[in-house]
């Protein structure tokens, strides 16, 4: 860990020297890329600096233990004890700071929730998930809006798209991607039998500093139509809804919930960028996902990630073995513990992977 702390400080100094060079300043792309790398390392560099300073202090006080002055030696023992207690959490913080960061984590995101197997009950469950995420956003400082939806025949949604805005939204919600399974007695079940249904969740990033997405307007087909569903008198009177098709990739996005065609078009374009970014990220990260999938899953749509058992008031996340017996509060948006546990599991796996690749002694205090 000492060598890694020194390496981080050396890299920051090297980046600062290169950023000051006239030829670097003249190269806009290189200057931007180096600047981003430098910004990402600043937090780890400060931790590394404090860690090395603590080790220096610890060495000095350990030498003072040999003092012939009894009072001074006693003070040294106290200081050594204090510094030893501070060392372990500082090493842990530094290790976590060295975990490779996903540049998309700090941005907003798009959530797509679709009813799966189970007919009307699946649509009702998809509606429950939409409400769960909306309530979580309300209490967590994120702005969430329903930008497109197809209602189920018995309620809920066959498909719903949420735009979640705010710094860190993607990083918080990214591990919600996958298949969510529900076990409960449907309202229409006369025999009281438990049925199993499912809904899938897709999380799309809104930005990634390392990937540039360019969309040529000549590659787009834009269709307008009358909005359907809840929306007051405005609905069905004008063709305000917008559907955009990116012809080269076949990606389609739509929005019908805004008041004007222009607003719906802007939202649909933003969703198109998110889908194209998601595809580019999948291509780029497929190898890394294969290594990490044992920790929290790949986020693939086919992964069964979680079971919601209503008769037992139980939620189980199968990726990390987390079980909670408070499903009622979870469905009201109390999912912070789940999200934090998933992020911690991912961070620990990233740290272990980085340690293996760099030869670090994680947890060794070396």
What span, in angstroms and rounded, lies between the C-alpha atoms of 30 and 27? 5
pTM: 0.67
Both tokens of 122, joined, read: 């699946």
pLDDT in tens, 104-117: 788 889 999 999 98
State the DSSP code for 191. Answer: T
* Residues 244 and 252: beta-carbon distance below 8 Å: yes
What span, in angstroms and rounded, lies between the C-alpha atoms of 88 and 349? 19
Give residue for tokens 């060079």.
Answer: 21
pLDDT in tens, 244-290: 999 998 989 888 877 788 888 888 888 888 888 888 777 766 644 54
pLDDT at 234 over 70: no
Of residues 325 and 228, more confidence is placed in 325
State the DSSP code for 233. Answer: G
Beta-carbon contacts of residue 68 (< 8 Å; ≥ 6 apart): none
Give residue for tokens 């309300």.
Answer: 138
| Domains of the chain and any CATH numbers | 2-98 (no CATH), 103-347 (3.30.70.1660)
Confidence of residue 96 (pLDDT cuts 50, 70, 90): confident
pLDDT in tens, 57-83: 999 999 999 888 888 889 999 999 999
pLDDT in tens, 6-56: 888 999 999 999 999 999 999 988 898 888 788 888 888 999 999 999 999
Q: What is the largest CA-CA distance in the chain?
A: 92
The b/e string for 187-202 (b: 16+ C-beta within 10 A; e otherwise) is eeeeeeeeeebbbbbb
What span, in angstroms and rounded, lies between the C-alpha atoms of 272 and 19? 35
Q: What percent of the chain is modeled with pLDDT above 90?
A: 43
């Amino acid at each position: 860990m000492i060598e890694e702390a020194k390496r981080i400080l050396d890299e920051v100094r090297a980046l600062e020297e290169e950023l000051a060079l006239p030829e670097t300043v003249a190269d806009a792309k290189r200057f931007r890329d180096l600047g981003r790398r430098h910004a990402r390392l600043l937090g780890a560099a400060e931790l590394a600096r404090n860690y090395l300073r603590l080790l220096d202090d610890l060495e000095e006080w350990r030498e003072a233990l040999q003092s012939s002055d009894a009072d001074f030696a006693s003070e040294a023992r106290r200081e050594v004890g204090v510094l030893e207690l501070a060392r372990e959490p500082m090493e842990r913080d530094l290790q976590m700071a060295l975990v490779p960061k996903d540049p998309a984590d700090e941005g907003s995101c798009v959530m797509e929730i679709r009813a799966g197997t189970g007919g009307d009950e699946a649509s009702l469950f998809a509606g429950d998930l939409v409400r769960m995420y909306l309530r979580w956003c309300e209490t967590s400082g994120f702005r969430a809006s329903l930008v497109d939806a197809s209602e189920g025949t018995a309620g809920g949604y066959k498909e719903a798209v949420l735009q979640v805005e705010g710094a860190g939204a993607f990083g918080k919600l990214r591990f919600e991607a996958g298949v969510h399974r529900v076990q409960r007695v449907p309202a229409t079940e006369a025999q009281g039998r438990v049925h199993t249904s499912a809904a899938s969740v897709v999380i799309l990033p809104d930005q990634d500093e390392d990937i540039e997405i360019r969309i040529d307007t000549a590659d787009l087909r834009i269709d307008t139509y009358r909005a359907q569903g809840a929306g007051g008198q405005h609905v069905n009177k004008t063709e305000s809804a917008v559907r955009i098709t990116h012809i080269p990739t076949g990606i389609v996005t739509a929005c019908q919930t805004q008041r004007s065609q222009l607003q719906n078009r802007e939202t649909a374009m933003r969703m198109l960028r998110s889908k194209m970014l998601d595809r580019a990220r999948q291509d780029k990260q497929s190898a890394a996902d294969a290594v990490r999938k044992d920790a929290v899953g790949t986020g693939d749509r086919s992964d069964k990630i979680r079971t919601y058992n209503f008769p037992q008031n139980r939620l189980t996340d199968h990726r990390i073995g987390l079980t909670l017996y408070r499903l009622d509060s979870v469905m009201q948006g109390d999912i912070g513990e789940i999200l934090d546990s998933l992020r911690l599991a991912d961070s620990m796996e990233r740290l272990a992977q980085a340690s293996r690749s760099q030869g670090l002694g994680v947890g060794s205090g070396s």
